[in-house]
Amino acid sequence: MTATVTAQDIDALAEALAATHGITSLIIFGASGDLTRRKLMPALCNLYSKGRIRRELRIVGVARTDLSTAEYREFIHQEMEEAGGFQPNAQEWADFAYRISYLMADVTSLESLRELEEHLERLEDFDPEVSNRLYYLAIAPTLYLRAIACLGEAGMADDSNGWRRLVVEKPFGTDLASSHALNDVAHAVFREEQVFRIDHYLGKETVQNLLVFRFANAIFEPIWNRNYIDHVQITVAESITVAERADYYDHTGVLRDMFQNHLLQLLSLVAMEPPHVFEAEALRNEKVKVLNAVRRIPAEAVAQHAIAGQYQGYRAEPGVAPESQTATYAALRLFVDNWRWQGVPFYLRSGKALQDKTTEIIIQFRNPPHMLFPLADDEDIPANTLAIFVQPDEGFHLEFQAKTPDAGLQMRQVELEFHYQSAFAGQAIPDAYERLLMDALTGDAALFTRADEIERAWSIIDPIIAGFNGPAAPPLYFYPPGSWGPEESDKFLAADGRAWLKGRRGQP
């Protein structure tokens, strides 16, 4: 597989998929849930309409709701219409729906799994020689252990007549110990190369393009280190509140929900060394090395390296404890203790109910060593920045100084911009799940998280969570919804002589 994100690349994957023999069944456990309705089915239907899913694919929805296959198809169709994303035409929908069947079953019950096995064998009868299966766990994470063990007990991981793969959604565990236990159970049933742990940020086009940007261009890599970079900022801001997920969220908080996975993945991709090939093991080895090098913050020192916030009104959300101390916002200062990044702070922040939805990575370069041009008294020597916008307006902005015309030696910060929308006009950016589902079906694990990677990430976040909940916890600052988080977060950077480069640079 290649690192580019073009349609040709996806077509190549589709060809690879078409080249696999036999029937492939995609079994979605949790088929009536939010993820299946909002993400998986629209992505599959879209892939099917683009001709990227082979006709032999069977989709089996499994859930505890009592529905017939016809009712389930209708339910998914309605949900897709309401969601307003990809809308298949009547023919596309009919062709796609034809390959969906539904079974009322409980993934944690052996008896149910036996019924599922019979259902699958009936589907596979078309080609009993080769029948591949992708089991997708879109169920409550508390059921993962039991579900995986049950698949094993039911003999459903046996890959003697076709491949078997398991896709597990985040969160993979709630801390290091539980993720380790989950890995143990997964490895007792499946081999590591059969397990595909999803972090949907890795399926986002700009996240993948970060690798192309870094490793397919010669001009940036020589300056991608402590000699030229002053610091890195990673912002994953969301304007939504926790809404109907409040109950889950109150037990989870922003560190588990966003930092352990999405933010640390972005950090790894920014900081990693170039792998020698773009292939799952090589890529993930490099990411693991970065996570190993992240300096651990002991629980008792967390207050010096983190800010905790909660949006005003959070405690009144249904499902939230009235005195909840759960952070809905956090900012962290991390260091990567290796040759390339020694002394370069990585500032990470994420929160709910913020002013805007935006994911961006900002690389701030060092100041020029000597300034020839006059600056006003209160002016700092201006730094160059590179802003990588992951969403919603995918692109890159490089800021540098230019001379203001006809104004002596006055300078102004100007921008070189690249935007997907204008540069690749007419080419829609696919949803992350399209890419990830294709990769899982073709067996390419490059954009999935390996067992050791997950555990390393927890080992970074666990002491920070312990610090947030312990006797030396940082104060919990309350911030108004629609702001950029607590003011103390700005002071946190100001104390380092830096400032958050506010969301969506260039916008007021």
For ligand BG6, give the closer residue by CB, 171 or 463.
Answer: 171
Least distance to ligand BG6, CB of residue 467, Å? 22
CB of 503 to ligand BG6, least distance (A): 13
- Give the residue nearest to ligand BG6 (CB): 257
Token representation of residue 300 = 């008792």
Asked if 106 interacts with ligand BG6 (CB under 6 A), we say no
Tokens of 214: 């870094």
Q: What 8-state DSSP symbol labels residue 335?
A: E
Choose between 77 and 200: whose C-beta lies nearer to ligand BG6.
Answer: 200
Q: Identify which of residues 43 and 57 has a Cβ nearer to ligand BG6 in the complex.
A: 43
User: Using the rule CB under 6 A, is 124 a contact of ligand BG6?
Assistant: no
Residue among 93 and 172 whose Cβ is closer to ligand BG6: 172
Can you tell me the distance from the alpha carbon of 68 to that of 75, in angstroms, rounded to the nearest whole number? 10
Of residues 126-185, those binding ligand BG6 (CB under 6 A): 170
Binding mask 174-203 for ligand BG6 (x = CB under 6 A): --------------------------x---
The DSSP element (H or E) to which 403 belongs, if any, is: strand 395-403
- Give min distance, CB of 489 to ligand BG6, in A: 19
Half-sphere exposure of 400 (CA within 13 A, CB side): 5
| DSSP letter, residue 263 | I
Nearer to ligand BG6, 37 or 133 (CB): 37
To ligand BG6, the closest distance from the beta carbon of 260 in angstroms equals 10
Counting every residue written for the chain, the total comes to 508
Nearer to ligand BG6, 133 or 170 (CB): 170
DSSP 8-state secondary structure symbol assigned to residue 262:
I
Q: What is the DSSP string of 19-88?
A: HS-SEEEEEEESTTSHHIIIIIHHHHHHHHHTT-S-TTEEEEEEESS---HHHHHHHHHHHHHHH-S---
In the complex, the smallest distance separating the C-beta of residue 212 from ligand BG6, rounded to whole angstroms, is 20
How many Å apart are CA 345 and CA 331, to the nearest integer?
12
By CB under 6 A, tell whether 257 contacts ligand BG6: yes
Closest separation in Å from C-beta 257 to ligand BG6: 5
The residue among 496, 506, 500 whose CA lies nearest residue 483 is 500
250 touching ligand BG6, by CB under 6 A: no
CA angle, corner 19, sides to 17 and 22, nearest 5?
90
Q: How far apart are CA 343 and CA 82, in angstroms?
A: 50
From the list 262, 276, 305, 370, the catalytic residue is: 262
Following DSSP, what letter does each residue of 418-483 receive, concatenated? EEHHHHTTT-PPPPHHHHHHHHHHHT--TTSB-HHHHHHHHHHHHHHHHHHHSTTPPPEEEE-TTB
The mark string for 8-37 relative to ligand BG6 (x by CB under 6 A, - otherwise) is: ------------------------------
**Which residue, 230 or 238, is less far from ligand BG6 as judged by CB?**
238
238 binds ligand BG6 (CB under 6 A): yes
Give yes or no: 305 in active site: no
Provide the minimum distance between the beta carbon of 181 and ligand BG6 in the complex, in angstroms, as a whole number: 21
Angstrom distance (rounded) from CA 255 to CA 262: 10
CB burial class (10 A; 0-12, 13-18, 19+) of residue 28? buried
Q: Which residues bind ligand BG6 (CB under 6 A)?
A: 170, 200, 238, 257
Residues marked as catalytic: 262
